Amino acid sequence: MSAYGNAFYFTMNENSPIGVFDSGIGGLTVLRELLAELPDEDFIYFADSKNAPYGPRTVEDVTALSSKIVQFLVDKGCKIVVIACNTATAAAVYSMRKEFKVPIVGLEPAVKPACLKTRTRHVGVLATEGTFRGAHFKNTSDKYRKYVSLHLEIAKELVELAERGVFSGDDVDAVIQKYIDPLKQCNVDHIVLGCTHYPFFRPVIERIAGDGVKIIDSSEAIARRTKDILMTTNMMRTENPNRTVRLYSSDSPEKLSLIANAYLDEKVTVEGNVNL
């Protein structure tokens, strides 16, 4: 149990902020949906860009990093924490829920809606190796494997490009083409973006995949799930004319600030080189 323990519940109230974290800047795609879904909430976002990417790391390593970040967010008074990272969810969501009393919301690739909507019975999934190894992905995908063929691509280069702030151009087209072509050859009609970094590339992915392929991710669903938890626990804030969005990074703040200010329709403050 977190050292913060039961004291959390005596100080937490509906005016407390929502915590969000990712291995880097990818979780901004989730944060944007949360900002739209919950317009009266304050947010604290942590980007662990210094340790990105999480995909190749061991479960133990990702769990240890996640624990430090959740503790950081709890110490900031967050009333709920959203793990805006598929790899961290796969590795650590269950242990985080045991360690901390704050509600923990995890991500999982949107395999279920893709399997329910597919007409060709072939679904492509782009994700990291950490996500594919996780119980979340296995448990969900196993339910549909009898009826739907899942075609998996480990698109680790997209995480690296996103962390460098490169979202378009010939190099991006070439990388995405490499991942999409095998999926199109398998007659997929849905492609699941199983990493929060990937929606940055959605326009390029949609162009290369073509009109007959639907691209889906989990951002909207996780925002609705977070709202539902806050509403049903009477913890949702309903009035806040001057909300704050504070961003922290374990790396230098310049990249996070540049991308966040361009991507989020919100005034944010950014602090970098945070040691946990």
pLDDT in tens, 139-186: 888 999 999 999 999 998 999 999 999 999 999 999 999 999 999 999
DSSP letter assigned to residue 270? E
Predicted pLDDT of residue 140 = 84
What was the pLDDT predicted at 139? 85
| Percent of the chain's residues with pLDDT above 70 | 96
Residue 5 backbone zone (phi > 0: left; psi -120 to 50: alpha; other: beta): left
**Residue 109 three-state SS:** coil
Domains and CATH numbers, the chain: 7-107+220-271 (3.40.50.1860), 111-217 (3.40.50.1860)
Write the DSSP string, 134-184: SHHHHHHHHTTTTT-EEEEEE-HHHHHHHHTT--SSHHHHHHHHHHHHHHH
What pLDDT, on the 0 to 100 scale, is given for residue 11? 62
Please identify every residue annotated as catalytic.
Answer: 85, 195
Q: How confident is the model at residue 6 (pLDDT cuts 50, 70, 90)?
A: very low
Mean pLDDT of all residues in 95-115: 93
Quick one: which of 178, 183, 199 has its CA closest to 86? 199
pLDDT for the residue 8: 44
Q: To 10 degrees, the CA torsion angle through 44, 166, 62, 20?
A: 20
User: Is the per-residue pLDDT at 47 higher than 90?
Assistant: yes
